[in-house]
């Protein structure tokens, strides 16, 4: 007797529902995408208890006639694919013909639709059509899905809390509103309006509806194209960020997708502009020939594969990095003008109430010494050392100065420099500023293969385990490029006799060992990444610290060097170096100016 039999349609639909419908958001997604494919210009999503009790999606699209209204609930019934060639040129959001029968198999559905000529109501319980009746001729479709998973209690049991389900739906609808700013979206849960867009086609208005005015004001426009791709959208200044990547919205031909490679590329664009564990708010729409994108990877159609992904990543990186470099990214200080003046207590302040921060008296000598390069003195500033450079080596050009010169007027808590110019006042973190200066100095020195050396009076001996020494030996060429003079000594031992001039004078041994550790642990070696890691490490060790007291002359030198940096706004770790208060901000705080 045969053991193999064909599954019933009801059973196969319930199995398919396990992939297509995992949570209430999946139902909303499929219904909204159908409305968009029906050329709707207004979509209303109404929920009861986060969609667990009911999900109702109303649109003003083209609607369906009586036959299509019944046929759309059959598996693999679709109006969007008719031949194999169509599969490689998908322009619609839906195309598989699995969503509606899968949803219908685990819920109760009432479909009310009209194409302007005929109106139809279809009632379905657990995948079985109960009735088909005539209705009014309002053009569009109303799809009501209730009692989700009522006949699959295991699936119902593993739905998350109502708040979690609503958060997922809200996130998805937000992304769809960003995808289609020309469509009016309204999201309502238990009669409370959560989102409403005007459908004007202005993406910034949608961003404002979702994220608010303060984020919208800090958006940079993205618009660039190559032979195969055109990218448009917005991304935030580095000061506006989030602790997860959920606010990076990636679209391909207006389809919301998830692609780790693109998200990683966007995140890497903000390297040294933003802390490593922070992410920007980004809306990026990638317009391309559908032939370059494969969306038929998963039933949810959110995972896609790109042809020419490297070209796309290069386009995104170049566009965002250039935008960051050409914009003035000084963070604005917080201005609170809502304070209330109160009577001042005239009692004298006791000394114990205020403790002056402990500072270390440090005097920095900025003159050039023959034996070593001193703190903050760039390699280009040292004429004695410049003589030894290879004249054919190209030096990276100095960043165009966009910040007006800042005059230091003092310091606060031994850590923050207070400065001013005609535009306002500035607060500068002296350690972060020095880190940025020294980072760029080291980075340029490594990339340009500056090989000025300093001989060690006492050579440094470094002994490593067998496996680590073999990796280091494989990369001896890196030590050569950096300007080290060394020799092998005995077994698994290296003797360093000279080192490059840009190493921190007070931590030579530690710095050399750290560089060797980076060489050994770098898995996918890249000269740019290696130079970045070494420069960040060296900059931290070379720079002045908080509570190091410096003179006005030292502050002037520091600020002049900072505004000449390629990125004077953040330290290598992404912390701000400088915060500004405009003259207008000051006048607002002191009530000299009114909004």
pLDDT in tens, 58-103: 999 999 888 888 887 776 556 554 454 544 555 556 545 577 888 8
What was the pLDDT predicted at 394?
A: 36
Q: What is the pLDDT at residue 269?
A: 92
Hey, which bits of 115-253 come out as E strands? 119-125, 128-134, 140-146, 184-189, 192-196, 219-225, 229-236, 241-242, 248-252
- For residue 335, what pLDDT is reported? 58
Domain spans, the chain: 9-196, 212-327, 360-446+547-587, 451-542
Is 234 in contact with 221 (CB distance < 8 Å)?
A: yes
Return all residues near 111 (Cβ < 8 A) that are at least 6 apart.
Answer: 69, 72, 120, 121, 122, 123, 124, 141, 142, 143, 144
Query: In this model, does residue 148 exceed pLDDT 90?
Result: no
Helices 466-474/508-521 angle, 10° precision:
90
Taken in order 511, 516, 520, 522, the sign of the CA dihedral is: positive
The superfamily in CATH containing domain 451-542 is: MutL, C-terminal domain, regulatory subdomain (3.30.1370.100)
Distance CA 160, CA 158 (A): 6
Tally Cβ neighbours within 10 Å of residue 90.
20
Distances (CA, A) of 38 to 34, 44, 113, 512, 541: 6, 14, 11, 65, 61
Q: Which CATH class is domain 212-327?
A: alpha beta
The dihedral region occupied by 116, where left means phi > 0, alpha psi between -120 and 50, and beta the remainder, is left
Fold of 9-196: Heat Shock Protein 90 (3.30.565)
pLDDT tens column, 99-124: 788 888 888 999 999 988 889 999 99
Q: What is the pLDDT of residue 180?
A: 93
Which of the listed ranges 8-17, 95-104, 133-142 does the model predict with the highest average pLDDT?
Answer: 133-142
Same topology between domain 9-196 and domain 212-327: no
CATH homologous superfamily of 360-446+547-587 equals MutL, C-terminal domain, dimerisation subdomain (3.30.1540.20)
CA 566 – CA 550 distance, rounded (Å): 24
| pLDDT value of position 525 | 65
* Averaged pLDDT score across all residues of the chain: 80
Residues 373-431: pLDDT tens digits?
Answer: 334 433 333 333 333 333 333 333 344 557 889 999 999 988 999 999 998 999 999 99
SS3 45: strand
> How much is the pTM?
0.71
């Amino acid at each position: 007797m045969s053991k193999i039999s064909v599954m019933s349609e009801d059973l196969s639909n319930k199995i398919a529902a396990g992939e297509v419908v995992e949570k209430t958001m999946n139902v909303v997604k499929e219904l909204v995408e159908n409305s968009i494919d029906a050329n709707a210009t207004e979509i209303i999503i109404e929920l009861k208890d986060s969609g667990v009790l009911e999900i109702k999606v109303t649109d003003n699209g083209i609607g369906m006639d009586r036959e299509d209204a019944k046929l759309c609930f059959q598996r693999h019934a679709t109006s969007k694919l008719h031949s194999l060639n169509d599969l490689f040129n998908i322009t619609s959001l839906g195309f598989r013909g699995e969503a509606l029968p899968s949803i219908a198999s685990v819920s109760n559905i009432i479909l009310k639709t009209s194409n302007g000529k005929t109106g139809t109501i279809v009632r379905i319980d657990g995948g079985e059509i109960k009735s088909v009746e005539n209705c009014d001729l309002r053009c569009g479709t109303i799809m009501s899905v209730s009692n989700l998973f009522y006949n699959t209690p295991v699936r119902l049991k593993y739905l998350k809390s109502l708040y979690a389900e609503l958060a997922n739906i809200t996130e998805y609808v937000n992304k769809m509103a960003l995808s289609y700013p020309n469509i009016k979206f309204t999201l309502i849960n238990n009669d409370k309006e959560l989102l409403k867009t005007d459908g004007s086609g202005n993406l910034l208005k949608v961003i404002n509806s979702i994220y608010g005015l303060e984020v919208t004001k800090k958006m940079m426009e993205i618009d660039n194209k190559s032979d195969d791709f055109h990218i448009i959208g917005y991304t935030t200044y580095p000061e506006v960020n989030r602790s997860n990547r959920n606010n990076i919205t990636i679209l391909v031909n207006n389809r919301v997708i998830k692609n780790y490679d693109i998200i990683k590329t966007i995140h890497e664009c903000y390297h040294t502009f933003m802390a490593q564990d922070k992410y920007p708010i980004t809306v990026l729409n990638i317009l391309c020939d559908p032939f370059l994108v494969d969306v038929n990877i998963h039933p949810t159609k959110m995972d896609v594969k790109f042809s020419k992904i490297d070209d796309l990543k290069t386009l995104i990186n170049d566009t965002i990095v250039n935008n960051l470099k050409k914009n003035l990214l000084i963070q604005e200080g917080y201005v609170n003008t809502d304070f209330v003046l109160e009577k001042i207590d005239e009692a004298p302040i006791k000394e114990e109430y205020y403790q002056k921060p402990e500072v270390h008296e440090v005097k920095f000598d900025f003159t050039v010494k023959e034996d070593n390069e001193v703190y903050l003195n760039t390699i280009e500033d040292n004429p004695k050392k410049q003589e030894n450079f290879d004249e054919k080596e190209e030096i990276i050009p100095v960043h165009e100065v966009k910040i007006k010169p800042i005059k230091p007027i003092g310091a606060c808590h031994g850590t923050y420099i207070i400065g001013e110019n005609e535009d306002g006042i500035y607060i500068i973190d002296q350690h972060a500023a020095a880190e940025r200066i020294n980072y760029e100095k080291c980075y340029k020195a490594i990339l340009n293969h500056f090989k000025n050396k300093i001989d060690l009076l006492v050579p440094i001996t470094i002994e490593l385990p067998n496996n680590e020494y073999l990796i280091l030996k494989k990369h001896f060429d890196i030590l050569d490029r950096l300007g080290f003079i060394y020799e092998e000594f005995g077994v698994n031992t290296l003797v360093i006799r000279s080192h490059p001039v840009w190493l921190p004078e007070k931590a030579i041994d530690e710095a050399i060992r750290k560089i060797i550790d980076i060489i050994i642990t770098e898995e996918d070696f890249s000269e740019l990444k290696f130079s970045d890691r070494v420069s960040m490490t060296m900059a931290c060790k070379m720079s002045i610290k908080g509570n190091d007291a410096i003179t006005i002359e030292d502050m002037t030198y520091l600020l002049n060097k900072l505004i000449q940096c390629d990125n004077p706004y953040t330290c290598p770790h992404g912390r701000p170096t400088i915060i500004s208060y405009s003259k207008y901000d000051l006048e607002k705080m002191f009530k000299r100016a009114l909004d």
